[in-house]
Amino acid sequence: MSWLSKIRDFLTRRETVISGGGPKAIEKQLAMGKLTARQRITAILDPDSFYEYDLFVEHRCADFGMDKKALAGDGVVTGTGTIMGYPVCIFAQDFTVAGGSLGLAHARKITKIMDHAMKLGIPLIGINDSGGARIQEGVNSLAGYGEIFYRNTLASGVIPQISVILGPCAGGAVYSPALTDFVFVVEGISKMFITGPEVIKTVLGEEISMEDLGGARVQTEISGNAHFYADSELECFEQIKKLVTFIPWNNRKKADPYPPKPPKPGHDVEKIIPSEPNRPYDVRDVVRAVCDDSDFFEVQKHWAANIVVGFARMHGQTIGVVANQPLVLAGVLDVDSSDKAARFIRFCDAFNIPLVTFVDLPGYLPGVDQEHAGVIRHGAKVLYSYSEATVPKITVILRKAYGGGYIAMCSRHLGADFVFAWPSAEIAVMGPEGAANIIFRAEIQGAPDPNAMRREKVAEYTEKFANPYIAAANGHIDAVILPAETRDFLIHAMEISAQKAESRPSKKHGVPPF
Ligand code: HXC
């Protein structure tokens, strides 16, 4: 073959593989409102930055007529590129090729790009759109999944791992995204479940649609499996780009600093907390009033909304924000909010992101449901994750900090480096109402007007204990500060702890309560 013929032959081969499952399958994919694997990669990465590898990988399966079936790229596209200038490894399953089903060669392409990401110390992005284990390949498909899960686990805490669910992600396949740090879903497109509607109908006799079983809303609002929800694939890709700017490439680096910006005008930190102690407010207003450009990028916004977690910047540096949300269940810690906070805290600690905690909660949620659902075990995760974290930890007590909630929300006792409290802070074993009812029970019951006596005793307790000064007198907090001073104190605390190095007892690993 002449040189020119070889080039032509190569171009034809490449064109064939790049056309995936062919025009009909692509048409079907687009008709479902989905982009193709390569369109998705191109839309996520910087223009012209994608370099594809393993284009000509082929499966070795001869069963069920597979020896006569060439599958373009074995149904997955892999490569490297950049997002906003940050290098990433990426793979996208191609549903137009055998439903993106995962055979051994398909899995090996994925594990190879995962190994690259680990060696190069750069984030991994995986786009899932697949019918699951390739049925014809039997146990070899299962082997492939196992090899992916193994690497997801080894990569955890070493490089950020991002999963994007853009089609079916069913059966055991869901466990790769579940092992990664962030899961993105899109309305009407993402479908994630262990057992599908048909199995549920057969085994349980219940009818349910894929959407109601494991659609985007279910995974973001009910199960908490997904972290980001979008109405369209393009909106989802913008979210991914934004996330990448907040996090470092790997666990040996810090997130890149950005040019510092003051909060936007109109965010007045003095005017957020209502004067009545039981009136709710949106804690995100506090975050926006103190962070750079009032830009708060919330994670798991739609699930366990009684706690708020997400990324922001303080004088150009990324911070991880954890804040009780008085708007929902008065900001209590419960089973789900404990899980949400603990996982986020561990991500920030693994990736050198300082933690800033805003506290306003009456404690853990009481009730039979919570006790039976394991609020003890789940709540312990918050204590564990804050205690083991060695990144700079800065806490601001805004209002209520009662009981176990006070301790759990990154108190000095769990190793906070700086604890500040606003004058509105109430740091006590429990709220004044509950406390007065218990310690003054005899006086209240014996009084001619028990209600008047209760009011008097609540006022007495509030005056004495519902303030930050006893904690300040004991050195449990470092400073009582004005709300308007919060940003300056936070920036200074971040700068002064930039070189913080704290060690922990030597061990193979801890045994957290998960
Ligand atoms: C082989 C598959 C496949 C699979 C789909 N295809 N899933 N081939 N193995 N798992 C093929 C179809 O045969 C079809 O090929 C093409 O992909 C497109 O599929 P359609 O069914 O036409 O698409 P659609 O109607 O959109 O339905 C999508 C679907 C459905 C809901 C995902 O295909 C489906 O239910 N697939 C099977 C899902 C499943 O049970 N997977 C195994 C789960 S067990 P042609 O040639 O006709 O175009 C599992 C265990 C993992 O994953 C355990 C890991 C620990």
Summarize the confidence of residues 286-303 as an average pLDDT.
98
When the candidates are 3.90.950.20, 3.90.226.10, 2.60.120.380, 3.20.20.70, the CATH number that belongs to 269-430+468-496 is 3.90.226.10
Does the C-beta of 131 come closer than 6 Å to ligand 1?
A: yes
Q: What percent of the chain has pLDDT over 90?
A: 92
Say what the pLDDT of residue 276 is: 87
Q: How far apart are alpha carbons 409 and 375 in whole angstroms?
A: 15
Say what the pLDDT of residue 140 is: 94
Residue nearest to atom 46 of ligand 1 (CA): 98
Tens digits of residue pLDDT in 16-51: 999 999 999 999 999 999 999 999 999 999 999 999
Residue among 239, 244, 234, 246 nearest 42 (CA): 234
Q: Which residues fall within 8 angstroms of residue 230, CB to CB, at 6 or more apart?
A: 184, 185, 186, 187, 216, 236, 239
- Ligand 1 atom closest to residue 25's alpha carbon, by position in its atom list: 48
Q: Please state the domain extents for the chain.
A: 3-246, 269-430+468-496, 432-465
DSSP letter at 330 equals G
C-alpha of residue 210 to centroid of ligand 1, in Å: 14
Give the number of other CB atoms < 10 A from CB of residue 119: 10
Say what the pLDDT of residue 77 is: 98
Tens digits of residue pLDDT in 201-241: 999 999 999 999 999 999 999 999 999 999 999 999 999 99
Give the number of other CB atoms < 10 A from CB of residue 285: 18
* Res. 62 pLDDT band, cuts 50 70 90: confident
Give the CA distances from residue 376 to residues 337, 340, 365, in Å, rounded to whole numbers and listed in that order. 13, 15, 11
* Res. 310 pLDDT band, cuts 50 70 90: very high
Say what the pLDDT of residue 277 is: 83
Say what the pLDDT of residue 65 is: 86
Summarize the confidence of residues 436-450 as an average pLDDT.
91
Q: Based on the number of CB atoms within 10 Å of its own CB, is 445 exposed (0-12), middle (13-18) or buried (19 or more)?
A: exposed
Paired tokens of 485:
């001073």
Q: Does pLDDT of 172 surpass 90?
A: no
Q: How far apart are alpha carbons 309 and 320 in whole angstroms?
A: 7
Say what the pLDDT of residue 109 is: 98
* Res. 341 pLDDT band, cuts 50 70 90: very high
- 3-246 and 269-430+468-496 in the same fold: yes
- Ligand 1 atom closest to residue 146's alpha carbon, by position in its atom list: 55
Best of 135, 165, 169 for a ligand 1 pocket test (most atoms within 8 Å of beta carbon): 135
C-alpha of residue 230 to centroid of ligand 1, in Å: 25
Q: Using an 8 Å Cβ cutoff, are 269 and 486 in contact?
A: yes
Helix axes 450-465, 432-439, angle to 10 degrees: 120
Residue nearest to atom 45 of ligand 1 (CA): 98
- For the chain, give me the number of helices (H) and strands (E)? 20, 17
C-alpha of residue 300 to centroid of ligand 1, in Å: 30
Tens digits of residue pLDDT in 123-145: 999 999 999 999 999 999 999 99
Residue among 62, 141, 132 nearest 98 (CA): 132
Phi then psi for 427, rounded to 5 degrees?
A: -110, 110
Paired tokens of 500:
């913080």
Domain 3-246: what homologous superfamily?
A: 2-enoyl-CoA Hydratase; Chain A, domain 1 (3.90.226.10)
Instruction: Give all strands of the β-sheet with 228-230 in edge-to-edge order.
Output: 51-53, 76-83, 86-93, 124-128, 161-165, 182-186, 228-230
Q: How far apart are alpha carbons 87 and 117 in whole angstroms?
A: 10
Does the C-beta of 248 come closer than 6 Å to ligand 1?
A: no
Residue among 306, 311, 370, 314 nearest 345 (CA): 311
Tens digits of residue pLDDT in 81-105: 999 999 999 999 999 999 999 999 9
Say what the pLDDT of residue 68 is: 83
C-alpha of residue 99 to centroid of ligand 1, in Å: 5
Tens digits of residue pLDDT in 374-388: 999 999 999 999 999
